[in-house]
Structure 1
Amino acid sequence: MASLADRLTKIEALEADLPRKAAPIIQPGTGMFFVDWYVMGAAQRTMAQSRGFRAMIETRNFPGAAILLRTQIDTAMRINGLRYLDRPEEQLSEVFQGEKTFRQLDSWEETDKERPKKMQDVFLRGKLVEEAPWIDPVYEKTSDFVHLSFRPLFSSIYHLDDDTRTISFAINGEDQTTDESDYFEICDAFFDVTKLTGTFILAILTGRHGCGEADG
């Protein structure tokens, strides 16, 4: 069975994999437009969050790692959502210039009232789940850490005494109780989400600029 260190090594390898595969696609002199800039920003965010995630795991900061997993899903949602934009280049220009946020953009899909659906989280999440159904429960669990709930409290409990009905807390930012298997699970989920995001990024770049090493 793969150890925690093995899992982190696999995640680190993905960080190197993305620029290696993107380099043959984005050659010097390649014309870059707003969609490309958005995708390149997503690639940078994906790699930065991956580095941060590994640091959180190494320091046993489970809540911090869960938040980074949730934001990695957020990147996947938006990159996957690019194909649902009504006029991608024009719309991302509006985002770039600060005229609109991404969630204010119209998709080419319509509601029952014949109005365009907006690129909001509920829409983007649904479209991503169509591609990867396993994302849905991961999204739900990690959202508890993004939006303050009682979930982070559990990692501060270091002793329960049933006889005296007392609870001892350690409020010091360190994870006290999360099982090793939970660390395995979150690392595996982060690897899968990061690989999915990288696949979306490489597919878009390949579609726009020709063949590269997008396979594998």
Structure 2
Amino acid sequence: MERVESKNLEKAIIKLRSTEFQIIDLENAVFSADNGNMFPLDLLAIAAMKRTSGNMEGFITLIEAKNMAAARSLLRIQIDTFLRFSASWLVEKPHDFASDVIGGKQIRNLKDRNGKKMNDGYLVDVLSPEYPWLKDVYKNLCGYVHFSGSHLSNAVQSFNDNERTVTFHIGKEDIKYPEWSWTEAVDCFTSAVNILFYYIDGWIQTKNGVDKANNQIHPTPKNGETD
């Protein structure tokens, strides 16, 4: 699945907004698949879609308000959503995994089928071959979730090396970023949403097929296809 790329910010927001309708379609498909029978992984999918719906609305609001620091924090959270949902494909018993997560267990303390703890860094490493942009983006965004030097960098408006002066901007708007930077952020959010949808669709296809009651789901989707 290729990363989304838009020509300008307006088109990028339109693309992201269009995914709202996909959420509704996926919700209906989750509830109607397999004649309405429900499994633990359904509940995890519902939680991921609910989180995505709220994240998306907040993210667009922040983009339109020119608040880059907060927008990037929400982008990191959305990446976290598909990372952790994708962990269902790495475990021996996905429904048991979903039940553990719903019951309050931390995914970073749970192990995949090879005995590896599924912390975020490990999940990034697993998915990076499929999504080459993921590792660098994830690393850069972590600085916005945790208070760090990224927030000072965000406050620097300009720097004059010859005069040894720094101008800071402290306010709710981030005015130093060019349009392409805002467009890139929105496109990255759309890519993160699409990846989550891809995994949820894989589960729906499995639910409508075989092995759903035997604690098995389709292997990790490859090249835009499900099993």
Question: In which range does the TM-score fall when normalised by the shorter chain?
Answer: 0.7 to 0.9
Tell me the secondary structure at the aligned position of residue 132 of structure 2: coil
May I ask how many residue pairs the two structures share in their alignment? 205
Residues 40-83 of structure 1: CA deviation (Å, up to 9, x unaligned): 11111122211111111000011111111111111111121111
Q: Is the 8 A contact 2:27 2:46 kept in 1?
A: no
Question: Do the aligned partners of 2:31 and 2:38 also contact (CA within 8 Å) in 1?
Answer: no
Change beyond 3 A, Cα 1:159–1:24: closer
Kept in 1, the 8 Å contact 2:9–2:180? The answer is no
The 2-side partners of 1:35 and 1:21 are apart by 14
Alpha-carbon offset, residue 21 of structure 1: 4.0
Q: How does 1:35-74 map to 2 (within 5 A)?
A: 35-74=41-80
TM-score, structure 2 as length reference:
0.81
Instruction: Give ranges in structure 1 of 5+ residues lacking alignment.
Output: 110-115
How far residue 149 of structure 1 moved from its aligned partner, in angstroms, is 2.1
Tell me how far 1:93 sits from its aligned partner: 2.0
The one of 5, 14, 18 equivalent to 1:13 is 18
After TM superposition, the runs of 4+ consecutive aligned structure 1 residues lying more than 6 A away are none
In structure 1, the partner of 2:156 is 157
1:104 counterpart letter in structure 2: N
Please name the residue that 1:119 is paired with: 118
Q: Which residue of 1 aligns with 2:39?
A: 33
TM-score by length of 1: 0.85
What are the superposed Cα offsets for residues 66-106 of structure 1, whole Å, 9 maximum, x if unpaired?
A: 111111111111121111112222233233233x2222222
For 1:90 and 1:155, the matched residues in 2 are separated by 42
Number of the residue aligned with 1:106? 111
Q: Match of 2:84?
A: 78
Q: Decide whether aligned partners of structure 1 residues 24 and 33 sit closer, same or farther in structure 2, where only a CA change above 3 A counts.
A: closer
Q: Is residue 85–residue 107 contact of structure 1 (8 Å, CA) maintained in 2?
A: yes
Task: Give the residue type in structure 1 aligned to 2:100.
Answer: E
Amino acid across the alignment from 2:122:
F
Percent identity for Structure 1 against Structure 2: 28
Distance 2:171 2:151 in 1: 12
